[in-house]
Structure 1
Amino acid sequence: MMFSFVRSASLRVFAAAVALGASLLSAATAHAEVDQAALADEADGRNWLAWGRTFSEQRFSPLAQIDRESVKRLGLAWTLELPDMWNVSTAPVAVDGVIYFAAGYSVVHAVDARTGQLLWKYDPKCDPKKMRMAWGSRGIAFWKGKVYVGVQDGRLVAVDAKTGQLAWETQTGEPGDNRYITGAPRVFNGKVLIGHGGADFGRVRGYVTAYDAETGAQAWRWYTVPGDPAKGFENPAMEMAAKTWNGELWKQGGGGTVWNAMTYDPVFNRIYLGTGNGSPWNQSLRSPGGGDNLFLCSVVALDADTGEYVWHYQTTPGETWDFNSSMDMVLADVEVEGEPRKVVLHAPKNGFFYVIDRENGKLISAEKIAKVTWAEKVDLTTGRPVEVKGARYDGTESMIWPGPGGAHNWQPMSYSPDTGLAYIPAREMAGYYDARGITPATWDPLREGPLGVHAFFDDIPKSAGSSSLLAWNPATQKEIWRVPTPGATGGGVLSTHGGLVFQGQADGRFVAHDASTGAELWSHDLGVGTQAPPITYELDGKQYVAVLAGWAGGQMLMGTLSAQHGWVGREHSRRLLVFALDGKTALPPSAAPSGEAKIVDDPAFIVDPQKVEYGRRVYGQNCTICHGVAAVAGGYAPDLRASPVPLTAEPFAAIVRDGALQSRGMPPFAELKDEDLEAVRHYLRERARYEPSTWEQVKTAFHFIVVMIKMQLAKWGWIG
């Protein structure tokens, strides 16, 4: 009887809570029609309706209540703690008093934009096997009362914006493939467009798919690289692309995934795709003999209604360095030789800033924004890069700037039509590529890995990379100002009509810069570092600025270079912070940055060198993406050198293979055998005890110097 009473009371409380949430949501939202006209409206800054605010993807707001003078009064209005979300590297949208965002494994949240109260949460329940990619969601889309999110397991999901109930879902991938989704969908003309990632993890042929926004029915699909010609080509573009490949690319997949950048152009009714790297990276394996390998590392224009090819511009022909063009593409009107031109502004990984004519895809200009050693310049007559001799590592080794992390990565830039400047989170970091002994006849993806280069097993020191916030003039292709930022990765950028540029930093500060000079005008502690891009919106005549903060994303791979900031995923906050003029809310308690990992060991554990070598490969293929290169955690997952769990076989197997900590974000690796786990345990003990001698450090430095000298000699033509 008592149980029935308690159960009944609990149900009444739950029902009341649901009703209250619905009431609050109804009060907060009038749900103006978010449609084609709204997403094309650059003048209305009240809402932030899409990944880049509007179709142009400029990440610029016309709001100006917070400006160069008033920004000093900016304070915290409210925060929402997100302790159960491991990754918040995402851009929210703000629609009529509600902030929507997806965090972790694409869990959608609706939050009252005035108060920070959670209104509803929808968990799509990601397939545990696809949780291993560990990137999380980078953004969502909104269209006519529905929120759209790509789930890491390959599903595209539509959720009712008022209730948080599932409207429809569809699987965009294929059973058992390596595809996953981290990027934001785009909506236009009643369609929702989504791509995928996966080219770095094995055989994947890239494509994008458009679905009916109301029903989820597939409208069209466009492949980025050709398939098996014996099966016929899907369209003339694929037949054209096939002529730029050698060998049997369809057996390797080819790559070219569209995992981030997709921009809709309402002027020409086109979609611009930013395509990814080849699979494998090493071109000599996927296309022996070379070739441009269309449409890798390209900007491709498609008809938005039919998905038919219109034009393309390839930023890195025959790419072999992971120089994908999946970075955001911004639409703008820029004066060129005294005439206004409708252009695409694009800063891909390869270190050049491109201005491309939107009407015909012709290159207008391209200049370096960072240290670039793989190419001297881009020839404006041919539109092709002039490569440096020796930059390609066919059967040898090369050190190249930039490296696979790029001079600009997924963290979006912003363009201000007020200043005419693009604001770019830029990076300086080399890449080391070693293909010695790897040929099409000898390559074993299970042994060397799917990239086609030897795996990198050394820690990445703090000195390996740096970052900056760069103000760049696309019209003149000149740097206007550059401000150093902490570490090797800066957060996404927002610019405003108030003359400000906002960016979250790896050191845990949220900073406002003068858009004209770069001077720092204001900053606030976030309690943790962030990569997420901020947004701004207006409610009841008040301007707000919002940003998600939490340590995760690609920087977790980079060992000490990332770990230097002291953020650890399970120890430090994940939160949404919203600022307004004269905000008085105190920052919630935040753990101080951690020091170096406290290594644990068992002297009785006898390390077997043969098991270490095998364990190094097993760790590299399964563990690096979360636990860091060389077992030096970058801050997302625990440092396994400091964990007592690997000291004993049984609990290690229970967690790694059997999924004992799946609820805390650790997916099961059921395919790993006892000998695999034992080898990893030996590798971790070797790493825990490893202390490079002075001579080893000198040898490593000498090795890299030799590589650089060989590259320079090749550039001069003194060696082949």
Structure 2
Amino acid sequence: MIRNFALVAAASLALGACGDSFDPSSIDTSTYGAGENWDNPGGDWAESHFSRLEEITPANVGELGLAWEYDLGTARVQEATPVVIDGVMYTSGNLGRVYALNAATGEELWTFLPELDMQVNRHACCDQANRGVAVADGKVMVGALDGMLYALDAETGAVEWSVDTVVDHARGYTITGAPELAGNLVVIGNAGAEYDARGYVTAYHVETGEQAWRFFTIPRDPASGEQENPELEAALETWSEDTRWDIGGGGTAWDAIVYDPEFDQVIVGTGNGGPYPQAIRSPGGGDNLYLNSLVALDRESGEMNWYFQETPQDNWDLTATQPMTLAQLDVGGEERPVILHTPKNGFFFVVDRETGYAHAANPIVRTNWADGFDVETQSFNMTMDQADYSQGPKIVYPASPGARNWYPAAYDPTRDTYFAQVLDMGNLMFLTGDPSEAEYQEKFLNAGAAIIFTSDLQAAAATLPPPLRAAIEAEDSWQWVLDQPFSSQLRAMDPLTGETKWAVDGLGWQDRFGVLATQTGLVFHGNSAGTIFARDSNTGEELWSMETGTTIMAAPMTYSVDGVQYVAVQAGWGGGGWGFVPGYSAAYNKGFTNRLLVFRLGGGEVAVPDDLPPLEPAPAPPEQLEGVTPEMIAMGNALFTENCTMCHSNQPRAPLPDLRRMQPNVHAGFDQIVREGLFVMNGMPSFGDRLSPEEVRAIHAWLISVQGPLRERELELQRRGLPLDSQSLTILSNF
């Protein structure tokens, strides 16, 4: 599980100048938490999301009000935490937009929108997310969705340099994470493991953009030649001889990169295997290093210091790419430098930053891929009989959205408490075909498994084929589904034991959010309904809240300008499952206008958007296409599910159009939109290279076939005086 590579002499793949003028001791690690400035999306050198500022306290937090707000100019996902340096706020939005604002007034100083081919939406699995910027040496660095890394002049927003980080444009690489500043280097990873990517991280010189080194996180096909990094030769032994190298393998580092100045190393969290089933990816098994691992790399050379694999033999999309926090903890009477990490897999890890040794690994949700971790042997007690779905469907805990995901946690060292939103949910997983016959789909989803979340499984079970339903109801974990399909909570936890000190229930499993903690004893967070809260750090008691009318997922942050403390949060719906908007969210009820909200003591009220107007019944569809058969409509349904549902959830309240409600002009131009890219500049990619005219015609025929019945049901609801929502449609079906 753990190996130290400190004595490895061979260099990683390194290009460009290797001279180093950065002194790691110049970073003061004796002070924990952010002060007046919030230097990076995590706040301080430890990326703790913890503040030392003292103006806002439990005694006066009730006086908080709006200082200013800024319209982000987009209806798409907002996951970034702003950076504030010397009174200027820098933050990013979807696609890799950047905003520079006066942090005291909200005055816009400049904005940046990268030029990119919107065809990139075809292989962005979880919306157009971007999680922040890095600021250093008068430059603001941001990754764009298409894989370009930009360095912008901090005063003007002009591009100083840009570099293409993608090693192979024939594969589905994107960037969704924030760049990580590591001294005189900036480090960035890529997303795309669900598609056909092979993971890596790259370090560039801040001054010039010249590449310093690149580290691949999994091996390549040995038939292609020697491995790029010497550490990959050892990793190769953990992959089977029959590995499907052509598909990519996964391991992408789409988030969770942190620089540790105490050991002058970059710690990278790596992603899931691609495809998900090991039976396809690496038939015959193996731990498949360095999937789902923490990998510590020497900042200057890119050589590996150590690794720790958090989920061996990954079959379940249980990534290790969730945000890390650096800390010092008393472990058995000895003060140790550690990483606090709560990845998708349901365990809370305390890992030594010097050695990679796991001092603790405690489950914080239900898990059935492993039922424990042995600290002495540094190994998991794997329970593959409960979680290996290669021989039949299995209900696996936790689910692929993870016990934790991209939304940051906060660590308060004064209370030794870790605050985080935690999701306890599973999913049914089963193969979608014979693993030995899996076909590689270039630059497209290669997941290889179907997933149904336990939040929906009881209802979905009735629609499944009887053999599949019988199989899942025979599972021991079926009782878990019946007892509690899911639990979503904000928790205060002890890092070394994982025990919960207090918890507050969320609105639903999609109610996910980042957290800010302060030395004065406050915890700030938002929720999907658009409320921002301040809670007592010791008890979880609500001390202040304000309705904003805009869904909040990103982590709040705090800073000070001229002695005034502000609390800021970026608000907007999106991310994984972004097309499926829950009815309890502000996005569903009030729409998708996104904004940056900044609060101070003595501020005013937030202008809450009006509720969206009632839905109108779907328009009448055109006449069905000539020559359409039931078989053609069935094919269209399947093709829509495979190609379109990632973005078009066909819900009445969603970021992108419900295609069951198309107007006549859209029906008329359907083929030009889907195959010829008529709306590419609006974000709708062309599928001309993937779908034949006959297949597009089948999709269109299916949409026409469902639009008419939808209209009739909604007209009936209207006649009965009921709102046009899913609950009313369910009521109607019972008449």
Asked if Structure 1 and Structure 2 have the same fold, meaning a TM-score greater than 0.5 normalized by the shorter chain, the answer is yes
Give unpaired runs (5+ residues) of structure 1: 1-32, 692-720
Q: How many Å separate the matches in 1 of 2:56 and 2:453?
A: 47
Residue 275 of structure 2 is matched in structure 1 by 280
CA contact (8 A) 1:395 1:439 kept: no
Q: Check whether the contact 1:597–1:639 (CA below 8 A) recurs between aligned residues.
A: no
1:57 to 47, 57, 64: 47
* 1:93 aligned partner: 83
Q: What residue in structure 2 maps to residue 581 of structure 1?
A: 601
For residues 651-690 of structure 1, the C-alpha deviation after alignment (integer angstroms, 9 at most, x for no partner) is: 3234334444445433343434332322222343455548
Structure 1 residues 674 and 43: CA distance shift in structure 2, 3 A: closer
Alignment partner of 1:196 out of 190, 195, 200? 190
Give the conservation status (yes or no) of the 8 Å contact 2:172–2:197: yes
> In structure 2, how many angstroms separate the alpha carbons of the residues matched to 1:34 and 1:658?
53
1:339 lines up with 2:334 in the alignment:
yes
CA distance in 1, matches of 2:23, 2:156: 17
1:390-419: CA deviations, max 9, x gaps? 311114211112111011111111111111
User: 1:527 matched to which residue of 2?
Assistant: 549
CA-CA distance at 1:608 after TM superposition: 4.3
8 Å CA contact 2:218–2:235 kept in 1: the answer is yes
Q: 1:613 aligns with which of 634, 642, 657?
A: 634
The answer to whether the aligner puts 1:66 opposite 2:84 as a matched pair is no
Letter of the 2:169 partner, please give it.
Answer: P
Q: In structure 1, what is the equivalent of residue 499 of structure 2?
A: 478
Distance 2:530 2:115 in 1: 30
CA distance in 1, matches of 2:354, 2:279: 34
Q: In the alignment, what sits opposite 2:9?
A: none
1:330 aligns with 2:352: no
Partner of 1:400: 396
Secondary structure of the equivalent of 1:251?
Answer: coil
**Alpha-carbon spacing, 1:45–1:175, altered in 2? closer, same or farther (3 Å):** same
Question: One-letter code of the match for 2:133?
Answer: I
Q: Alpha carbons of 1:289 and 1:380: their partners in 2 closer, same or farther (altered >3 Å)?
A: same
* TM alignment of 1:88-237, pairs within 5 A: 88-132=78-122, 133=124, 134-173=127-166, 174-201=168-195, 203-230=196-223, 231-237=225-231
Q: Does 1:508 align with 2:530?
A: yes
Q: Contact 1:395/1:438 (CA < 8 Å) preserved in 2?
A: no
Q: Deviations over 1:39-85 (max 9, x none)?
A: 85536511111021122111111112111111000000111112335
- 1:105–1:151 Cα contact (<8 Å) kept: yes
Residue 425 of structure 2: aligned partner: 429
Residue by residue, what CA displacement relative to the aligned partner does 1:337-386 show, whole Å, maximum 9, x if unpaired? 22221111110101111111111111111111112222211222322222
Q: Of the candidates 573, 578, 587, which is equivalent to residue 551 of structure 1? A: 573
Go from structure 1 to structure 2 and tell me whether the alpha carbon gap of 1:364 and 1:103 turns closer, same or farther (over 3 Å shift): same
Query: d(CA) in 2 for partners of 1:457 and 1:467?
Result: 14
Partner of 1:391: 387
Indicate the SS of the match to 1:554.
coil
Alignment partner of 1:308 is 2:303: yes
- Give the counterpart of 2:237 among 237, 243, 248: 243
TM-superposed deviation, 1:36 = 7.9
The corresponding residue for 2:655 is: 636
Identity %: 38
How has the CA–CA distance of structure 1 residues 43 and 473 changed in structure 2, closer, same or farther, with 3 Å as cutoff? closer
The number of equivalent residue pairs is 652
SS in 2 for 1:555: coil
Give the conservation status (yes or no) of the 8 Å contact 1:97–1:113: yes
Instruction: Tell me, yes or no, if structure 1 residue 625 matches structure 2 residue 643.
Output: no
Matching residue within 350, 370, 373 for 2:368: 373
**CA RMSD of superposed structures (Å):** 2.8
1:439 and 1:362 map into 2 onto residues whose CA distance is 35
**Shift of residue 471, structure 1, vs aligned partner:** 0.9
Equivalent AA in structure 2 for residue 493 of structure 1: V
Contact 1:566 1:635 in 2 (8 A): no
Instruction: Tell me the distance in 2 between the aligned counterparts of 1:662 and 1:459.
Output: 35
Q: Which has the higher contact order (CA 8 A, sep 6+)?
A: 2
Provide structure 2 residue ranges, at least 5 long, that are not aligned to the other structure. 1-21, 460-483, 714-735
What secondary structure, in the 3-state scheme, does the structure 2 residue paired with 1:530 have?
coil
The answer as to whether partners of 1:271 and 1:303 remain within 8 angstroms in 2 is yes
Q: 2 CA distance for matches of 1:111 and 1:290?
A: 51
Q: Which residue of 2 aligns with 1:540?
A: 562
Counterpart Cα distance in 2 of 1:637 and 1:395: 37
Question: Does the CA-based 8 Å contact 1:552-1:635 persist in structure 2?
Answer: no
In structure 1, the residue matched to 2:722 is none
2:471 alignment counterpart: none
1:636-665, Cα deviation, whole Å (9 max, x unpaired): 3232233436x9642323433444444543
Q: Greater shift after overlay, 670-679 or 88-97?
A: 670-679
Q: Secondary structure of the residue that 2:386 maps to in structure 1?
A: coil
Contact 1:109 1:120 in 2 (8 A): yes
Relative to 1, partners in 2 of residues 1:39 and 1:48: Cα closer, same or farther, differing over 3 Å? farther
Give, in whole Å, the separation in 2 of the partners of 1:665 and 1:568: 21
Q: Give the structure 2 partner of residue 592 of structure 1.
A: 611
Deviation at 1:265, TM superposition (A): 0.6
Structure 1 CA distance, aligned partners of 2:652 and 2:453?
13
Distance 1:507 1:394, change over 3 A: same
> 1:415 is matched with which residue: 397, 411, 418?
411
Q: Label 1:678 to 1:145 Cα distance change in 2 as closer, same or farther (>3 A).
A: same
CA deviations on 1:137-164 (whole Å, 9 max, x unpaired) are: 1111111110000111011100000011
SS in 2 for 1:573: coil
CA distance in 2, matches of 1:650, 1:625: 23
Q: Deviations over 1:446-486 (max 9, x none)?
A: 89951111476999589964421111101333111111112
Q: Distance in 1 between matches of 2:515 and 2:666?
A: 45
Instruction: For 1:39 and 1:681, locate their aligned partners in 2 and report how far apart those are by CA, in whole Å.
Output: 61
Given that 2:428 and 2:453 are in contact with CA atoms closer than 8 Å, whether structure 1 keeps it comes out as no
Deviates more, 1:505-514 or 1:616-625: 616-625
Q: Is contact 2:549-2:590 (8 Å) kept?
A: no
User: Does the Cα contact within 8 Å between 1:379 and 1:385 map onto a contact in 2?
Assistant: yes
CA distance in structure 1 between the partners assigned to 2:46 and 2:290 by the alignment? 23
